[in-house]
Amino acid sequence: MKKLFAVGLVLALSGCGGGYDSLPPLVSDGNGGTIGAGGTIGSGGSKDDGDWKYGSVSNADGIFSLSARIDATNTYTVPQFPNLNQRSWIELEKRKMAVGTISKRFLIFAPEEVKCTPGCQIRIKFNSGISSYNFLQRVDGVLTPANDQLAAELFDKTTRSNSATIYLPIVGLSDEVESEFNLRGYDEDKMKFISE
């Protein structure tokens, strides 16, 4: 009877787990890190960080362009197709220029036509402060700051803020679309040239 009880106890305890097999598996975070049992990202970030995507372009002389993209956390309904939702995004770019300087670009992709022909004021709220900025729409749904100085200013505000809301006047919608962005977790090292 004691042997039967001991075998039953072993079986009961082995079903409870408690070892490493009870921890959730490591999962890729999409940025070269992993999310483990504690829910933190192995590359040093946090699970509350925004979903930044990074890229680079190079030629025979090395990397000359670095980019970072962040998608809005919400979507909006396309006016012509009520069953279709779209998501806007911000793209940042740093580019080495021929004169040895580095330019900063800031782009908003709607991706629907915006009431901005050819220019307009777009309101953007960084953290809790809201301002209007001059933008141009040379291609439907792609908004660029009116000048290089403004592009650099918006680049810096994006990389130094935790959140942003861009108010987009989409053609066919009576109200502005509030595209919200989680800007946390921007990796400055991934947007640095070796010479910087």
Domain boundaries, the chain: 1-47, 50-191
Kindly list the distances between the CA atom of residue 47 and the CA atoms of 24, 77, 147, in Å, as whole numbers in the listed order: 15, 28, 35
Predicted TM-score of the model (pTM): 0.74
Q: Is 132 exposed, middle or buried (0-12, 13-18, 19+ CB in 10 A)?
A: exposed
pLDDT over 90 percentage in the chain: 57
Please say whether the beta carbons of 69 and 87 come within 8 A. no
* Tens-place pLDDT, residues 66-107: 999 999 999 998 888 889 999 999 999 999 987 778 999 999
Q: Which of 39-48, 87-96, 132-141 has the lowest mean pLDDT?
A: 39-48
Classify domain 50-191 by CATH architecture.
Sandwich (2.60)
Length of the chain: 196
Query: CA-to-CA distance for 173 and 36, rounded, in angstroms?
Result: 43
**∠ Cα 178 69 123 (to 5°):** 30
Please say whether the beta carbons of 97 and 152 come within 8 A. no
Please say whether the beta carbons of 46 and 40 come within 8 A. yes
Averaged over 170-175, what is the pLDDT?
90
Q: Provide the terminal-to-terminal Cα distance of the chain, rounded to the nearest Å.
A: 76
